[in-house]
């Protein structure tokens, strides 16, 4: 009897939410304010990209400008994706799913530095990257992907005002898997190119 009552209640709840969603233009949004980290349930590369509206004053792929704008440039490996932080969190129901949604999520990574080019990034630190998992895909800026666990990148980052063991992600160039730094045949040539870009960094784009 109790099982039947629960099923009836659940059915009525679903019907009521569906009706509300249709009445409210297709969505119900329940505001929540919380800052805990939510796990990323699948690789970012398998998610559909949902672009954020962000404007930059220069192409991020320009090494000299990206390094000049940043506080740190280094080669590092993503050891763990700690989760995504939602600071203005909503639960959204549109007749098909309940899900977390935030217009400005922040994904936390644990990164290990292999080689510093500019600045002295800690050997291991938390990297904060704007963007993250949403119910309908991956929210990210500039139509680009997010760093993935187990990959090695050339990173540019800026310092966090709150914690010297946290850095804000600016841009990255994928180099290979976690063993790239130890095994890649073209490693020395790439490092020299990256160091040359640092020597010729464009500081005119920097905002201090």
Express each pLDDT in 25-83 by its tens digit. Answer: 445 555 555 557 888 989 998 998 887 766 777 888 899 999 999 999 999 999 999 99
CATH architecture of 27-205: Beta Barrel (2.40)
Q: Domain extents for the chain? A: 27-205
Average pLDDT over residues 91-96: 65
> DSSP letters of 3-70?
HHHHHHHHHHHHHHHHHHHHHTTS-EEEEE----EE---S-GGGSPEEEE----SS-TT-HHHHHHH-
Q: How far is CA 187 from CA 67, 110, 134, 193, in A?
A: 19, 23, 35, 10
For the stretch 112-134, pLDDT in tens is: 999 999 999 999 999 999 888 88
Q: Which residues of 92-118 are buried (b: 16+ CB within 10 A; e: fewer)?
A: bbbeeeeebbbeebbbbbebebbeebb
Burial of 56 (0-12, 13-18, 19+ CB in 10 A): middle
Does residue 193 have a pLDDT over 60?
yes
Average pLDDT over residues 165-186: 93
**Beta pairing partners, 153:** 76, 174
Residues facing residue 180 across a β-bridge: none
Residue 105 has pLDDT above 90, yes or no: no
C-alpha 202/C-alpha 140 separation (Å) is 25
Q: What is the pLDDT of residue 30?
A: 59
Of the pLDDT bands very low, low, confident and very high (cuts 50, 70, 90), residue 18 is very low
Mean predicted confidence (pLDDT) in 149-163: 90
Distance CA 3, CA 142 (A): 49
Confidence (pLDDT) at 188: 95
């Amino acid at each position: 009897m109790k099982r039947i009552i629960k099923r009836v209640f659940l059915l009525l709840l679903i019907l009521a939410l569906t009706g509300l969603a249709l009445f409210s233009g297709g969505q119900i949004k329940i505001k929540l304010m919380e800052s805990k980290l939510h796990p990323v349930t699948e690789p970012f590369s398998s998610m559909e990209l949902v672009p954020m509206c962000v404007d930059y004053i220069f192409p991020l792929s320009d090494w000299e400008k990206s390094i000049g704008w940043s506080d740190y440039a280094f080669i590092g490996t993503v050891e763990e994706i700690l989760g995504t932080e939602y600071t203005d969190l909503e639960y959204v129901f549109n007749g098909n799913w309940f899900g977390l949604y935030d217009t400005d999520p922040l994904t936390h990574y644990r990164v290990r530095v292999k080689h510093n080019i500019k600045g002295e990034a800690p050997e291991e630190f938390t990297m904060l990257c704007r963007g993250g998992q949403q119910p309908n895909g991956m929210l990210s800026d500039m139509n680009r992907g997010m760093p993935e666990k187990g990959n090695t990148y050339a990173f540019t980052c800026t310092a966090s005002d709150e914690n010297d063991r946290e850095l804000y992600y600016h841009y990255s160039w994928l180099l290979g898997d976690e063993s790239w730094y130890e095994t890649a045949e073209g490693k020395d040539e790439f490092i020299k190119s990256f160091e040359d870009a640092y020597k010729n960094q464009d500081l005119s784009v920097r905002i201090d």
